[in-house]
Chains A and B, each alone.
Chain A
Amino acid sequence: MDTASLNISKVQEGLSKKEFSAAELAKAFLNNIKEKDGDIHAFLAVSEELALSQAASVDRAISKGEALPELAGVPMSIKDAILVEGLPCTAGSRMLENYIAPYDATVIQKVKEAGAVILGKTNMDEFGMGSSTENSAFGPTKNPRDKSRVPGGTSGGSTASVAADECLVSLGEDTGGSIRLPASFCGVVGLKPTYGAVSRHGIISVASSLDQVGSIGKTVEDAEKLFHVIQGKDPKDGTSVAYHELPPKKSSWRDFIIGVPKEYFEAGLDPQVKAVIEKGIDRMEKQGARIQEVSLPHTKYALASYYVIDMSEISSNLARYDGFRYGKHVKSGTLLQEYEESRGQGFGEEVKRRVMLGTYALSAGYYDAFYLRAQKVRTLLKQDFEKAFEKVDVVAGPTAPFLPFKLGERSADPMAMYLADIYTVPVNLTGLPAISLPAGSVQGLPVGLQLIGKAFCEQTLFEAGKLFEQIQSNG
């Protein structure tokens, strides 16, 4: 079976025409995992038993002539921050090394009901902290396009599993770029939906005002289909909202006004990446899109604002790992000693760094200078986008400021790693939807173009994304 040429609609067609069964499809992808994952290490756990039982129930439905749901038989992977009942859920941390998920996240209930076949849990930076998947306690994932390089992070296992044909689509989670950055580095499509569009129930919390589950696929259409299955209000997540999709009204580039923020093309952007992105924008213009320069003047403060808020929320969310309720427990004497030693041994370096900085930023005397000020800057960033979106339909720019880097290249200096997120974090701070699209490559290394939309305008991003794929495939 030629797994590389498949997409969701071809799977549906093949199943309904009985060209292959769901079980054969699942086995073909499980076989890909066996052959390739020794090198790539996208998976932390492979759930062969679950996958084959889900495939068998799809095959039973087919033999009974039942109508197939949206994702029937679609082999997928799940980031290890999302709970799948009965499977390990480590969040890439020693702290949760032996933790088995006791229930399904809402998004997992939804993909299961839609007939998807879950092949396993994918590697990630510990508790979603990092930009390269090197911070996993279980070893890094390698970029399938060049195994000496990182896949990006934190959902690097998810994007690598899609890029390597170890599955068709994947669910990731994006707090500051964790879907879009690795999608860019691995040459696949990754969507971060509008905040509130997808339930966070059953997701291991990182920074609750920023976290959002999203879809990863080889094509825009696959990412779109998966998004439509997972979106919607959930009574178990008070921040989720009834998804009111705004229709795109757009069918050709002539209907689009594309905003290009000048601040996204300044110093710090690799000239080779810049050239690929500018070429992509030129092509949209040649097809009839109107290109308009916009300004997002507070961009240079976004990264600092993001990390203050991210770390503050992390320090609060990760307080639950006390050695008693979840995971690693070091027995040493008094309650305080056991807290300190369980957390000292259970958390990796980056997690400790962020928990401590968040604790510092929230501690007495510093709250106004850090957390409150960062949230005011967040308002300014929101206003920047509101102003830009008065004039344009989408904002286009690079997803990452540089090419996929070598394993180990940035891990010694935390600030060098944080810079990878410079174009992705404004989107999480403002809650907007954004998609990273393969835009070309430099010496075989993928470059991603990021399109940012208005809140709840995912459909506009999908339409623009599909048009962009057409230009790319026309060379």
Chain B
Amino acid sequence: MITKEDVLRVAKLARIQLNSQETEKFQKDLSAILDYFASLQELDVSGVKETTHSVQVQNVMREDQEATGQKTEGLLQTTEQKDGFLKVPSILP
């Protein structure tokens, strides 16, 4: 069973705010799922190479040609802007 502190640490890393009810539920859920994942430890995987992509392609190249880009306006539709930059709150409190 992982601890409540573990849940809060992971939530902090993932930048997700949880309320106390969620923290309690996720402590239970995450523990059960991690227990299920533990079955992977039964297998001997020494000498086995990992597969990152099922269909491997390497060094995908293309012609260095000018092309029309995406529609900037549409891509920025949900952002708040100031002087042509994205506006965010100050990073240092």
CB within 8 Å of B: which residues of A? 85, 98-103, 194-196, 209, 235, 238-239, 241, 298, 300-301, 303-305, 307-308, 315, 319, 322, 324-327, 329, 333-336, 338-341, 343-345, 347, 349, 352-353, 355-357, 359-361, 363, 369-370, 372-380, 382, 414-415, 418, 428-432, 455
Contact = CB atoms under 8 A, between A and B. Distances in A.
Given A305-B40, A369-B41, A415-B32, A194 B86 contact: no
Contacts of B43: 298, 301, 373, 377, 380
A430 B54 contact: yes
Interface string B1-36: 000001100110111111000100010011011101
Nearest to B13: A359
Contacts of A308: 37, 40
Contacts of A338: 88-89
A373 B14 contact: no
B26 A102 contact: no
Pick the most buried of A343, A373, A376, A429: most chain B CB atoms within 10 A of its CB. Answer: A376
A430 B91 CA distance: 43
Given A338-B88, A380-B45, 13 more contacts: A100-B77, A102-B75, A209-B52, A239-B57, A301-B43, A307-B33, A324-B80, A333-B93, A334-B90, A340-B15, A344-B17, A356-B30, A357-B33
Interface of B: 6-7, 10-11, 13-18, 22, 26, 29-30, 32-34, 36-37, 39-43, 45, 48-55, 57, 60, 62, 70-71, 73-75, 77-80, 86, 88-91, 93
A336 B15 CA distance: 8
Contacts, number: 170
A195 B42 CA distance: 29
A-B CB proximity, top 3 nearest = A102-B74, A431-B54, A344-B17
B16 A343 contact: yes
Contacts of B26: 352-353, 356
Contacts of A85: 74
A382 B51 contact: yes
Contact of B55 (A195, A319, A335): A195
Pick the most buried of B39, B51, B57, B89: most chain A CB atoms within 10 A of its CB. Answer: B51
A352 B22 contact: yes
A241 B48 CA distance: 26
Contacts of B16: 340, 343-344, 347, 352, 355-356
A103 B17 contact: no
B47 to A, nearest CB: 9
A379 B10 contact: no
Contacts of A356: 7, 10-11, 14, 16, 26, 30
15 contacts: A195-B55, A209-B54, A239-B55, A301-B42, A304-B37, A324-B88, A329-B78, A334-B91, A335-B91, A339-B15, A341-B17, A345-B17, A352-B18, A373-B41, A376-B48
Contacts of B22: 349, 352
Contacts of B80: 324, 329
A294 to B, nearest CB: 19
Contacts of B90: 334-335
Contacts of B78: 98-99, 325-327, 329
B15 A353 contact: no
Nearest to A375: B50
A418 to B, nearest CB: 8
A250 B21 CA distance: 58
A334 B93 contact: yes
B13 to A, nearest CB: 5
